[in-house]
Structure 1
Amino acid sequence: TCYAGVIRLKEVIMKTFRLFVRNTLLSLGITSSIVTVLWAIFSAQLNDLVKDCEWLFLGSIIIINIIYGVISVLPKNSVKLKLGENLKVDVGFGDLFQKEGVVVIPVNDYFDTLVDEKVVSSNTIHGIFVKRFFSGNEKLLKRLISASLKNIVPVEVNKTRKQGNHSRYALGTVACVPYEGKRYFLVALTKFNENYRAEVTKSEYQRVLCDLFDYIEQNSQGNRVNVPLIGGGHSGLELPKQKLLEFLLLSITLNDKLTLINGLDIVLHQSVKDEVSLNIIESYYQTL
């Protein structure tokens, strides 16, 4: 809702303001320490230099540090993070499907290929993937998914389901779909409730991320991996986009086994730009 959007925007603004204060005070502290050391060494020269303009000198230092604080919180389009000895992550805005390497696609637990706004919505990553690459040839996509899942036993075969696929798989299951020289990792993120609406609980979401990154560790074969803001679409998760991004990064950080030679990209859609602050993310991981 509009009200919820205003609340989320206020949260980002408050976090950004706190970051500005923190960076300004940190910079001021460092500057003060440097000036103190220099004054102890060159006290006579510096006293002569600022004679009769001490307040101007002090004011200049404060203004310079405030300017630094403002610059440090100007919105960024991308940041580079080091989440471990063997893992570098780039977070930025862009088109997920234009990225080189493996692309992760969140889907429902039936791995449906029917984009009809009921089974799969055309404005989700799942729907865009099907329409962009397999429009008019959904049977090929279904065959590729079936080939990848042939050794995985579904948790249920629902023959009464009127639309979409019949086999339902455990959340966190991943199907590898090779197409036109690229590989797509389709991960079962959501399940349908009685109203045919996709959803996932917070505990299930955590499990899905663990299973996904375990699969990536075993099957990415050294390729760069591109991940969207998982759960940020029609998943039913009632979490702000900023918190989703923070949790996604935390899940990556906690996976000690995850090693990607060519790194990992978290690709954010432009529509969440007002809800996500990469400055806050960068500051947090720089502190760590």
Structure 2
Amino acid sequence: MWKSLSVGLARRWRAGLTQAFGVAGAIWLVTEIVTRVSTTANTWLTNNGDTYLMGVLIAGAAWFLAYSYERRKVTFQVPTTSSYITIKFGNMFDEPTDWLIGVNEFFDGRLGQVIAPTSVHGQFISRVFNGDENAFRRAVTTALKGVLFTTTTRSSQPSDAYAIGTTAVLANGPHKAFLVAMSHTDHVTHKAGSTVPMMWDAMRGALQAVQNHGNGQPLAMPLIGNGLSSVNVEPQHLLRLIVLALVDFGRKVGLPKQVTIVVPEACFDALDLREIRRDWMKH
């Protein structure tokens, strides 16, 4: 709560003051009208001026704080569709829905140097496959059966690389997990990296898989491209890119009724969710 208030005040205290004065002005206008037509109201105001003034100040202050408070969750409708996008801070794995997760082109499953256990990719393997690389590999191999790949000279296995946007659909209890290839990996250092065009292609490939296999079920995704496979874009711009990709695909093809983007707490100071919502509410 205090963090939401402090961040919000830092961002929009000037606009908050304008809003507060606007509220005070509206109250004053109504008061002027009422006291001119009502002798009782005019008498009460004359006898209780201090109470009235205190009420106006409290109303203005309350409006100022409410306006400035930084939201932790916003929802808006995708223009011209019946789908909704929610952006919230939290942990994607707490969402009881289908998941969309970005991975590298090899769909690696070995935790450690290759896949960081703290990454969303790594956490997925730990949570769903108990960290078992072989079990994860079997599931991915089955899901990608018949999909074209390129054999590389990479010394570690797997060495078969899939095109950006290739999506493996894995069972996850009553839900599905859509793992999309969104980054290229250095064969020696195992460092993954992506670009804005790659992100766009990955989103289109993943959303097409969701359209084909998701049966319209709610979908949750992290701020993909913000982790170790960084697109090297500021979180606010990255979030805009993801939302734009969702809206574009939703208008042209279709989205689930509900798509939730769950962003990490570490990005709280860098993200303005209200601004994202305001931009799309105008359309």
Q: TM-score band (shorter)?
A: 0.7 to 0.9
1:89 lines up with 2:85 in the alignment: yes
**Equivalent position of 1:3 in the other structure:** none
Identify unmatched segments of 5+ residues in structure 2: 1-5
1: CA distance between counterparts of 2:172 and 2:83? 26
**Equivalent position of 1:132 in the other structure:** 127
Report the CA distance between 1:242 and its aligned residue: 2.6
Q: 1:214·1:258 contact (CA, 8 Å) conserved in 2?
A: no
**Equivalent position of 1:149 in the other structure:** 144
- Please tell me the residue identity of whatever aligns with 1:139: N
Distance 1:53 1:285, change over 3 A: farther
Work out which of the residue numbers 101, 104, 118 in structure 2 matches 1:105: 101
1:179 lines up with 2:172 in the alignment: yes
2: CA distance between counterparts of 1:24 and 1:260? 39
Residue 262 of structure 2 aligns to a residue in which SS?
strand
**Equivalent position of 1:168 in the other structure:** 161
1:65-124: CA deviation from partner (whole Å, max 9, x where unpaired): 34312222323332222223311122222332232121111100111111122x211111
Identify unmatched segments of 5+ residues in structure 1: 1-11
Normalising to structure 2: TM-score of the pair? 0.80
Normalising to structure 1: TM-score of the pair? 0.79
Work out which of the residue numbers 218, 224, 239 in structure 1 matches 2:233: 239
2: CA distance between counterparts of 1:92 and 1:270? 9
**Equivalent position of 1:223 in the other structure:** 217
- Please tell me the residue identity of whatever aligns with 1:94: G
Q: 2:19·2:63 contact (CA, 8 Å) conserved in 1?
A: no
Provide the identity percentage: 21
Residue 14 of structure 2 aligns to a residue in which SS?
helix
2: CA distance between counterparts of 1:83 and 1:26? 28
Q: 2:98·2:177 contact (CA, 8 Å) conserved in 1?
A: yes
**Equivalent position of 1:206 in the other structure:** 200
- Please tell me the residue identity of whatever aligns with 2:77: K
Report the CA distance between 1:37 and its aligned residue: 6.5
